[in-house]
Amino acid sequence: MTVDTSVTLAGVPLKNPLMTASGTSGHGLELSPFFDLSILGAFVTKGVSMAPRAGNPPPRLQETPAGLLNAIGLENPGVAAFVARALPGLATLGIPVVVNCFGEDPEKTVAAVEALSAQAAVTALELNVSCPNVKAGGIAFGTDPAVLRPLVAACRQATRLPLWVKLSPNVTSIVTMADAALQGGADALTCVNTLLGCDIDVRRRRFLPSPGRGGLSGPATLPVALLKVAEVHRAFPQAPIIGVGGIRRGEDVLKYLLAGATAVQIGTAILVEPTAPVRILNEFTELCEGLGISRPADVIGAAHPGQP
């Protein structure tokens, strides 16, 4: 049996549902020495803001059981340097290029969206409203529906590109935030960003990573992120969802699809194993074949009661 892995995500055709997750695959072709990036359904960049950001002081990382806390602080070269140095390389891949972007306030967010929308090589934008590391922005947008909805609406006005909104799991109700993003005009929802957490160095009596907290990613987060995808899908069955959190095997990809995601993002697994997407795609295809799923797009949301 041949498996047709293609999916269509909010109007964007993808040859398979696998993408990189923002933050774990660089701004450009940093991973290309390790595998052919064009095998991906889409490439999602590390977050970009209008002005360059130096990021947080070290230590930015702390390993946890089956997980990783990070507080990179949204280090990035700024839109102009990204467009000049990284984007031309990405444009040669021949796959959709999704730029993750953010701003420290609504005006800067819209400015980044506008600047990136002017680039022909950009297929879609993923708005980061949930990065938990930056005191000035991020968390405020993604945790208050009264802030999120007008922000997304302003970005919607500023671009004709597909606009994805990456939601934070660090809220009482992700459904409320998904609703705000959809009402603001989001075309798709990325579920979810990292979970807030911390560790403690008992000898120095200091919180880790350096800001005192960080975003948890890795296999430990999969059950949480999977439930968030399921909750958003249940509330908004028509909304395209990109599932992200802890994927490291082909079976995990299928779980996210069954929960309601149209596509998925591979993050921390790439840090552990730079060629992970190649293996995961093979495993996913073989698993679908073994389970008699000739078209994975047909089983999106199929784990929900009442689904075929």
| Residues designated catalytic | 131
Look up residue 13 and give its two tokens.
Answer: 């055709």
| Binding of other proteins by 36 (CB under 8 A) | no
Binding mask 220-249 for other proteins (x = CB under 8 A): x---------------------------x-
Pattern of binders to other proteins over 13-32, x per CB under 8 A? ----------xxxx---xx-
User: Least CB distance from residue 82 to other proteins, whole Å?
Assistant: 14
Applying CB under 8 A, which part among 7-15, 141-149, 236-244, 270-278 lies near other proteins?
A: 270-278
| Residues in contact with other proteins, shown as a per-residue x/- string from 187 to 226 under the rule CB under 8 A | -------------------------------xxx------
- The reply to whether 285 sits near other proteins by the rule CB under 8 A is no
Nearest distance from C-beta of residue 220 to other proteins, angstroms: 8
Rg (CA), the chain: 18
When the beta carbons of 30 and 231 are compared against other proteins, the nearer one is 30
Q: How far is CA 152 from CA 68, 238, 284, in A?
A: 29, 19, 33
Residues 66-95 that bind other proteins (CB under 8 A): 66-68, 70, 72, 75
Torsions phi, psi of 268, nearest 5?
-60, -30
Q: Is residue 46 near other proteins by the rule CB under 8 A?
A: yes
Which secondary structure element, helix H or strand E, spans residue 163, and what is its range? strand 163-167
SS3 string of 151-162? HHHHHHHHCCCC
Whole-number Å distance between alpha carbons of 39 and 273: 16
Q: Is 231 exposed, middle or buried (0-12, 13-18, 19+ CB in 10 A)?
A: middle
Query: Looking at 55-63, 173-181, 187-195, 291-299, which segment touches other proteins (CB under 8 A)?
Result: 55-63
Using the minimum distance from each CB to other proteins, give the nearer residue, 123 or 133: 133
- The burial of 35, by beta-carbon neighbours within 10 Å (0-12 exposed, 13-18 middle, 19 or more buried), is given as middle
**Residue 100 in the binding site for other proteins (CB under 8 A):** no
| 97 φ/ψ angles, rounded to the nearest 5 degrees | -110, 115
- 4 is an interface residue for other proteins by CB under 8 A: no
Q: How wide is the angle at C-alpha 63 spanned by C-alphas 263 and 198, nearest 5°? A: 90
Binding site for other proteins (CB under 8 A): 23-26, 30-31, 33-34, 46, 54-68, 70, 72, 75, 218-220, 248, 268, 270-275
